[in-house]
Amino acid sequence: MTSIIRATGITRTFGKGDLTVQILKGIDVDVLTGEFVAIMGKSGAGKSTLMYQLSVLDEPTSGEIIIEGIDVVQLDEVEATSFRLNTLGYVFQDYALVPDLSAEENVMLPLLMRGENWEVARGTARTAIDEVGVAGKYPNLPGQLSGGEQQRVAIARALAGKPKILFADEPTANLDSISGRAIIDLITSLNRDYGQTVVMVTHEREYAMGANRIIHMEDGLITGIEELRPHHT
Amino acid sequence: MRALRIGFLLGFRQIQRANKWTTGLIIFVMALTFINLIAVSGILVGLIAGSERALQEKSLGDIIVTTLPDEDKILNTDAFIRELEQLPEIKSFTVRYQVGGQVEANYKTRSDFSKDANIVSGRLVGINPVAEDAVTGLSKNIVEGEYLDPSEQGYVLIGALNIDRYTAGFADITGSLENIYPGSTVRVTINDNTKEFIVKGIIDAKVGEVSTAIYIPERELRRLSGATSRDAEEIAIRLDPTTDGQAVKQTLLALGLDKQAKIRTFTEAIPKFVVDIKNTFNILGVFIGAIGIIVASITIFIIIFINAISRQRQIGILKGIGIERRVIEVAYVLQAAFYAIVGSAIGVAITYGFLVGYFERNPIDFPFSDGILVAEPIGTLYRFVILFIITLLAGFFPAWLIVKRNTLNSILGRK
């Protein structure tokens, strides 16, 4: 089995001088290709901060993160943006769709940025929207969709470009339990059926049960790794 | 190119989905700014342009013929006139005989000889009333009484600036006539020759040459001044409206008429100080307009800044999912460009579709000129380009400030 993410000695410190706060205190994490890893912990445990480091949205104070053989800590801003576009997919808590763009255009945006032409991008976007279960909502603005539908469109946006790794930061936080369950089922099936590598931060143990492993965190450290089901590449 | 295309998509959709009232208000501000930019300098310049136009229409004509520097008459005026009559481009012309003289009023009722007589010294202009009216429309400037009738004798037109009730005190220096109305009798003295005239009308035009003059039929003026020659001092020529004054002047020069008189187009005859005032007002207008541009650019800056800062998280997420900074910057610059273009287009439409025509029909009644709105297309284009560039910068700068922030800080709303 090969590691798609290998992080060693990750620390993240905020502030200066006496006001320094160390959120991550030396984390080592490996994520295997096709694996579904959930990160759990109480508020302030550092789980979101860890995800931001792994997803190249933030730069660790020290440590090394290798994704797909690339030392992402060494990337400059332009390279990091390009890396995120071509390699990673994101699902945020509050869907984070562009309110002025239709569902279809939201999904098309990263595809267009990759250089796909309008028609190809639109075809890919519609397929992705169909696959996440909101078929026919292509022209709807985010404001015309329910929370669950918006999160599905956000997942479609994250997946349309076929990312190597999907990062999900508490994707059910703003959803009711039924919609939340449906989103988790969708993410789980993406992993099980299509071998999509997923790293998800969640508060809810119930939602983490579909993962291969749960990484438990407390006070900036990994306190335990729970193997739920074996992962086979 | 890709960044431009996606930036256009984002920017266009933001404009499309924006609150219509807000967009309308921003465009309204931009349109007013543009109009302010054109209109302020346009009216200032138009004030002088109106004065120039009045000078052309009411006094100088399209070509003005005057005496050579060392002469006091147009040499062989009759021959000169015969040449003018042969040129089809010349619509009409008027020959003027000018001489200094005095006009005295109220001499019949003067009881106190210890006081000065009610006399004004001025420029007496001998005209053919019909020819003068054809060139300058002098009859339209009658404010009291009637215009000269060519069949009558013994009548005079007096410029309003020779009469005390029109001069509001400033004629204390030059003198003025009191109690002069149409029908009053005045005594005109030229070279010690005196004759009584009846005031037929009073003339007032916002052209000093007209309002200070005293018009008498040319035969009577020559008779009174004792002139033996028919040579005149001035000929004003009106051309067909489609004719180029410079071309006609060249024709006159080719005929050798410049040996008899000084020939100038209207433009050449404008006094230098008028041109200087015009240029000064133009600069003044640009300065005032620049204040308008600064206000507009600050408005755009604030609008784009508020827009961008309220979408800071969204901008962070766009960067997070791999959208390049310049794409987002293009989106905001496009919005600024949209406001500038639409606002300016409306400004242009209002300026050329309404304001220029309106002021042409209803000039502003300034004391010394009928002000119009001068809006030269090239000047308008120049101002648009300035406004457009400044607006783009005002749109780009706040977007750049917000977009350059750390991606994660933007996503999390951290400062």
User: One-letter amino acid identity for B123?
Assistant: R
Lowest mean pLDDT across A49-63, B271-285, B339-353: B271-285
Preferred mutation among B321, B325, B338, B412 to probe A, highest tally of A CBs within 10 A: B321
Pairwise CB contact (< 8 Å): A96 & B323 = no
**Chain A residues touching residue B321 (CB < 8 angstroms):** 84-85, 89-90, 109-110, 157-158
Which domains are present in chain A?
3-227 (3.40.50.300)
Which among B44-53, B197-206, B287-296 has the top mean pLDDT? B197-206
Pairwise CB contact (< 8 Å): B323 & A86 = no
B327 touches chain A (CB under 8 A): yes
A149 touches chain B (CB under 8 A): no
pLDDT above 70 for B275: yes
Residue B387 distance to chain A (closest CA, Å): 28
Residue B415 distance to chain A (closest CA, Å): 13
CA distance B131 to B134: 5
What number is the ipTM of this complex?
Answer: 0.85
A141 touches chain B (CB under 8 A): yes
Taking the model in full, what pTM does it have?
0.72
Which one has a higher pLDDT value, B236 or A186?
A: B236
**Chain A residues touching residue B8 (CB < 8 angstroms):** none
pLDDT value of residue B92: 94
pLDDT value of residue B128: 94
Of the candidates A8, A162, A159, the one whose C-alpha atom is nearest the C-alpha of residue A71 is: A8
B317 touches chain A (CB under 8 A): yes
pLDDT above 60 for B172: no
Reported as a single tens digit per residue, the pLDDT across B186-205 is 999 998 889 999 999 999 98
A110 touches chain B (CB under 8 A): yes
**Chain A residues touching residue B318 (CB < 8 angstroms):** 98, 109
pLDDT value of residue B188: 92
CA distance B312 to B93: 73
- Partners of A215 in beta bridges: A39, A225
Residue B406 distance to chain A (closest CA, Å): 9
**In the predicted model, what is the mean pLDDT of residues A22-34?**
91
A105 touches chain B (CB under 8 A): yes
Burial of residue B16 (number of CB atoms within 10 Å: 0-12, 13-18, 19+): exposed
CA distance A87 to A30: 17
Residue % of chain B over a pLDDT of 70 = 97
pLDDT value of residue B171: 52
| Among candidates A52, A86, A92 on the partner chain, residue whose Cβ is nearest the Cβ of B317 | A92
A174 touches chain B (CB under 8 A): no
**In the predicted model, what is the mean pLDDT of residues A118-124?**
93
Task: Calculate the alpha carbon distances from B105 to B116, B117, B163, B169, B303 in Å.
Answer: 12, 8, 10, 18, 69
CA distance B28 to B69: 56
B321 touches chain A (CB under 8 A): yes
Instruction: Say if CB A221 and CB A10 are below 8 A apart.
Output: no
A69 touches chain B (CB under 8 A): no
User: One-letter amino acid identity for A212?
Assistant: N
B323 touches chain A (CB under 8 A): yes
Please state, rounded to an integer, the average pLDDT across all residues of chain A: 88
Residue % of chain B over a pLDDT of 90 = 37
pLDDT above 60 for A87: yes
| Among candidates A52, A100, A157 on the partner chain, residue whose Cβ is nearest the Cβ of B13 | A100
